[in-house]
Amino acid sequence: MKTGNRGRLAILISGRGSNLQAFIDASAGGALAADIAVVISNNPDAGGLRLARRAGIPTRSIDHRDYPSREAFDAALAAEVGQRDVDLVILAGFMRILTPVFIEPFSGRLLNVHPSLLPKYPGLHTHQRALDAGDTEAGVTVHFVTLELDGGPPIIQARVPILPGDTAQTLADRVIVQEHLIYPLAAQWLISGRLQLTDHGACLDGEPIPATGIDYSPGASSGAPTEPG
């Protein structure tokens, strides 16, 4: 059950849980009016599970290798999340392609973060692809999850310049700092009722969000998004 006016999150991970830590910090610090009800991983050895346990958060491991198909795994995952009475499901480094079996029951309350300025570079190796293309900037996008891989409506983007001598790793190191800022922010918008997924895309405060999302600036952390750029 909810505590007061606070929401409840389920966070799905596969690895070390760096975004999980950002959510733990945002929840504890008051930037996110929600509690993490459960952290679930498809990888029993994920470091993020240990991180969650140290924070006193319930954890669950559902190994995808134990299921004969993606759909069977997704059905088990949906059943586990469904019994937790959550308002929002956060994909935080969850390295599985989800099927409609999971996506449809949580439509409109399922978020992902992708380390590129979508629609550029869906999929993997985003930073190297930006470097190879000669781009002058890179970034990260929080978006709703839909049936199209990395194709759900963007909510918010943060940009970083690509600097001379950058490698995929140095670029990733700068992008992830921004990732940890905008992901809990987008979650707070949804938890507070400001953000919705409609038949026409994402809306904030009843206004359509631009096709590439809201451009993040530090002022957005107070709840006031900048004008799209």
Catalytic annotation, residues: 114
| Beta-carbon-side half-sphere exposure of residue 221 (alpha carbons within 13 Å) | 11
Contacts of residue 163, defined as CB under 8 A and 6 or more positions apart, other chains included, come to: 170
Q: How far apart are the first and last CA of the chain?
A: 40
Is residue 98 a contact partner of residue 162, using CB atoms and an 8 Å limit? no
Q: Which of 157, 148, 8, 172 is nearest to 90 (CA)?
A: 8
* Alpha carbon distance 229, 227 (integer Å): 6
List the strands of the sheet with 201-204, edge to edge: 195-198, 201-204, 207-208
Under DSSP, the state recorded for 158 is: E
Written as one string, the DSSP assignment of 12-62 is: EESSS-HHHHHHHHHHHHTSS-EEEEEEEESSTT-HHHHHHHHTT--EEE-
